Amino acid sequence: MNGYIFDIKRFALHDGPGIRTTAFLKGCPLRCRWCQNPEGLGSQPVLWYHAQRCIKCGACVKACPTGALSGNPESSRFIHVDRKKCDLNGACVAVCPARALEFDSSEYTAEELLQVFLRDRVFYESSGGGITLSGGEPFAQPKFSSEILDLCREQNLHTALETTLHVDQSTLERFLPLVDRFLSDVKVWDSDEHRRYTGVGNELILSNVRWLAEHGVKMTIRIPLIPGVTATAENVGGIARFVHDLPGDVPVELINFNPLASGKYHALDLPYDFASVTAALDPEVVEGLADVARRAGVTVL
């Protein structure tokens, strides 16, 4: 089984316990307006154009067999990509001397990805770490995700899954024997606001969180702190009170806003609603929101 991976992060320290290797899988059922990995939204590869690398040689325009590329010397973005004509044949990528054009993801077999994971086994064993599947959304490629997790099980690697939990319960249940810890996002407490900012309501997500907790599954709830949206005492408090009422000890982790995603949207010719937000939240603000969660009775990592 093959899958599309848009990034592999070795020596990751924030994607589960210990030192980890995190693989980011393409495809996501949500459309968060602040998404930090827009290359992970779609299920198929997409051509990136990095204007700052381009030397304006025009080799890609000549090489493209479908006429999807055109050059404009007067524009700051010399190359225009007609994405309706682009068939991802890769001719432009092959001839670009500056690597201004590249695909946003690569295709792996499960065995190939396992071999990447195994390179750092010694670090997993010394730190209590392992591997993490992230995205995008690992459940968007369920067959590939289950196959690689099964291979990791055979190698006795600790496994974690970063997920939106916007998935049917029958699929979720099949993954329980394969995952040691779920890292589950709960982004917005109010369902209408959740739909406004992510494209879906939060009912299925909260139902799955509750179901996992009732089955004693190890889980961390992560709240992304988005300025003006989720980084409020009302939102964090609502989620924290929900978590407090779950069975078992479910910790909460607050994830500060990452202001570095604008370049990705630019490379993909996509608009970005949060381009004007150029800084993460001040540590004092994050700590204040952490106190809100603690007062609700939950453990904050």
Q: Which long-range contacts (CB under 8 A, 24 or more apart) does 284-290 make?
A: 285/231, 286/225, 286/254, 286/256, 288/233, 289/225, 289/231, 289/232, 289/233, 289/236, 289/254, 290/254
Give the pairing type, strands 130-135 and 158-163: parallel
Residue 301 lies in a domain: no
Asked whether residue 119 is domain-assigned, the answer is yes
Same domain, 123 and 241: yes
Q: Are residues 13 and 36 in the same domain?
A: yes
In a shared domain, residues 273 and 130: yes
Same domain, 84 and 224: no
User: 197 and 64: one domain?
Assistant: no
Residues of the chain with pLDDT under 70: none
Q: How many domains does the chain have?
A: 2
pLDDT, residue 118, reads 98
Q: Which domain holds residue 134?
A: 2-43+105-295
- Per-residue pLDDT at 75: 86
Please check whether residue 300 lies inside any domain of the structure.
no
Provide the 10 A C-beta neighbour count for residue 105. Answer: 23
Does 136 reside within a domain?
A: yes
Let me know if residue 264 belongs to a domain.
yes
**290 and 202 fall within a common domain:** yes
Q: For the domain that residue 70 is a member of, what is the CATH number?
A: 3.30.70.20
Q: Alpha carbon 188 to chain centroid distance?
A: 17
Rounded to two decimals, the pTM is 0.92
Q: Looking at the structure, tell me whether residues 162 and 139 fall in a common domain.
A: yes
Cβ atoms of 189 and 242 closer than 8 Å: yes
Say which residue the tokens 């990705």 belong to.
264
Same-domain pairing of 184 and 69: no
